[in-house]
Structure 1
Amino acid sequence: MPFVVTYPLQWLLSRRPQWHRYLHALNRQWARLFIFMWGMPVETVRKQPLPAGQPCVYVANHSSYIDIPLLFRTIPGWLNIMGKSSLATVPLWGPIFGSVYITVDRDSAVSRGRAMVQARRTLEAGRSVVIFPEGRIGKHPGQQLDEFKDGAFQLAIATGVPVVPVTMPLNHRFMPDVNGLRVRYSPLAIIMHAPLPTTGLTVADAPALKQQAYDIISSALRPEAGGIPEASTWRQPVAKKTPEPVRERTSA
C-alpha cells in the first residue's frame, strides 16, 4: 500500500535525473512505513559511527525480498544500489528501479563491467553504493554465506572509499526467496559493522579485504535461525479418494 499510494509521485520523480535524490528520499520513507505496517520489530546495531561526508561501499549479505527496503530504511544519505536486472521487469516498481538505480545481469561480463562503471561514477559524485557481493540470494540463507565476488572490493580500493560490512541475519525468516509469497512473523535485525579503510591499498589487496568483510558479516549470522520457514499447513490439499475397484460378475 505505501508503494501504491506514492507511485504517481515516484513515477514523476523518476522522469528526470535531477529529481532522483528526492525519489530516493521518498523510497526511504515508504520502506520505513512498509516495514512498520508488517509489525516486525527491527533491531538496529551500529558498531561505529559512519565517516561524516564520506561515500562508502556497503556490502551486505543477501537472503530475502525484504533486504532492499531494510537497507533503504537504515543507511543514511542518497544511496545507489546494485540489483539484479530482473528487478527492472517487476510491474510498476521495476521501471522506476531500473531508471534510478544500477541493474546488472550477473551472467553477463559486459553488464557487470557497465554496472561497475556506473558504481564508480556514483562514488566519485559523492554518493554511497550498496552491493550484494554474493551476487544473488544465498543458497543457505542465515547459515552460510556464498562466496563473495571481487568487484565491490576492487571498486572501493580504486576510489579510496571505506567498505562497510552489513549483516542482516533474520530477513530470510520473514520473507524468504521461494516460489510465491511466504511471510512469517519474525523480528528483523541489521548490523552495521565498523568501516574498513582502503587508503593505501592496491588491487592486490582486494582478496584480503574481501575475506575480512566476509568474516565480519559471517560472524554476525545467527545459525540457530538458519533455514527457510516451512510452507503453511492450515490449508492442506484435499486428498483424492481412491476409486473402489470395479467388481465384475462372472457366471459359473
Structure 2
Amino acid sequence: MSWVDFIDAHPYITIFVILLLQLPIIYQTSEKGKYFIKISLFYLSILSAGFPSVLTTIPTYFQCRGAIWAFRTFQFFTFWLDIDVEIRGKDKLECNGQVVIVSNHQSSIDVVGMAKCWPDRCVVMMKNSLKWIPGFNVAAVFSNTIFVNRFNHEKAQEALKFAAKTMSERNLKIWVFPEGTRAAKGMLPFKKGAFNIAIRAGIPVIPVVFSSYDPFYSKEKRYFHDNGQVIAQVLDPISTKGLSIDDAPALADRVRSIMLEVFEKISVEAEEKQKITNEKFHQKTAEASMKKADK
C-alpha cells in the first residue's frame, strides 16, 4: 500500500499525525501555543502519576505517613517542567507532632512546590470533587486525604471534626489552602476551617508562602516560560494556646496579613531571580549559536 492509499484509507489518522508533527513548531514559535501544550502535558503528567501513586501510597497508609510518597511520585512525573523552587525554613515542617500547615493557592502547579517541601506524616485537605478522578482518588484515600464539601456547611463542619480526630489518633500534620480556591493575584480572604482545626486540637499553625508565578506563568495571559523561579518561605509556628473557636476569624486575618507581607517581599526576589536566570539562558543560547555558526 502506497502512502497515498494509506491517506485515503485513514484520513483521521493522517490528520492527527500532521497536527502532532506541528506541535514542536508551535511550541517554539507561539507563546500561547507553548502555554496550552505545556499545561496539557502537565495535567497529563499528574493524571499519569495517579496510578503508580496507588502502589506507592499503600505502605504509607498503614505506616500513617500521609501523602509523602504520593507527592514524591508527583515530583518524579513533573520534573520536566523546569521549575526551580528555593525552599527556606523547610526544617520547621519536619517538627514532631501535629500542626496545621496553611499556604497560598495560585494554580494547579502549586503541586510542584508542595512536592519539594512536603513533610513526612502530613495529609492534605482538598475539595470533594477531586475524589472522582480515576487513579488519583484511590491514591488520595491511601494518603488519608480529608475531602471537604465547600458547598454544604454541615458536611464541611463534619469534615473538620473528622480531620482533627484523625490527626490526633494518627499524629498527623495537615496541609490546607485557607483561601478555598485559587487566587490569580495576591491572596483571597482566608476561610476559618484550618484555624478551627488548629484551635480545636490546640496545635500551632505553620504558614508556607509561595512567591508569585507571574514572572514565568499566567493562566490569564496564556504564557508558561521555561526556567521558572519560585521561592517558598516556611514561617515560624503560630501558637493557638488559650484561643477559642470565636478567635478563629481574628487568627485567620492575622495569619493572612503576615503571609501577604512575606508574599510581596519574596515575589520581588523571585522576579529578580527570574530575570537573572533568563539572561544566563539567553547568553548560553547565543554562545551555542555562535559556536554552531563557526563550525
TM-score with structure 2 length normalisation? Answer: 0.64
Q: Which has the higher contact order (CA 8 A, sep 6+)?
A: 1
- The C-alpha deviation readout for 1:73-130, integer Å capped at 9, x for no partner, is 2031121111112222334323432563112221111331232122112321210001
Counterpart of 1:184 (choices 225, 234, 241) is 225
Counterpart of 2:162 (choices 106, 112, 118) is 118
Counterpart of 2:135 (choices 71, 78, 92) is 92
In the superposition, relative to structure 1, how do residues 184 and 88 fare at CA in structure 2: closer, same or farther (>3 Å)? farther
In the superposition, relative to structure 1, how do residues 39 and 9 fare at CA in structure 2: closer, same or farther (>3 Å)? closer
- Which residue of 2 is the match for residue 132 of structure 1? 177
Counterpart of 2:258 (choices 210, 216, 219) is 216
2:93 touches 2:119 (CA, 8 Å); kept in 1? no
SS at match of 2:83: coil
Amino acid in structure 2 at the alignment position of 1:150 = K
Residues of 1 paired with 2:107 and 2:67: CA distance? 21
- The C-alpha deviation readout for 1:50-79, integer Å capped at 9, x for no partner, is 573121101111111022342232031121
In the superposition, relative to structure 1, how do residues 126 and 172 fare at CA in structure 2: closer, same or farther (>3 Å)? farther
Larger helix fraction of residues: 2
Counterpart of 2:146 (choices 102, 111, 114) is 102
Shift of 1:23: 7.3
2:99 touches 2:174 (CA, 8 Å); kept in 1? yes
1:31 touches 1:73 (CA, 8 Å); kept in 2? no
Residues of 2 paired with 1:168 and 1:80: CA distance? 19
SS at match of 1:44: strand
1:176 touches 1:183 (CA, 8 Å); kept in 2? yes
1:87 touches 1:97 (CA, 8 Å); kept in 2? no
- The C-alpha deviation readout for 1:156-179, integer Å capped at 9, x for no partner, is 011011001111123466565569
Amino acid in structure 1 at the alignment position of 2:117 = T
Unaligned runs of 5+ in 2: 1-43, 272-295
2:105 touches 2:179 (CA, 8 Å); kept in 1? yes
2:87 touches 2:232 (CA, 8 Å); kept in 1? yes
**What value does the CA root-mean-square deviation take over the aligned residues?**
3.3
- Which residue of 2 is the match for residue 83 of structure 1? 126
- The C-alpha deviation readout for 1:150-198, integer Å capped at 9, x for no partner, is 121121011011001111123466565569x963332122111111011
Q: Alignment identity in percent?
A: 24
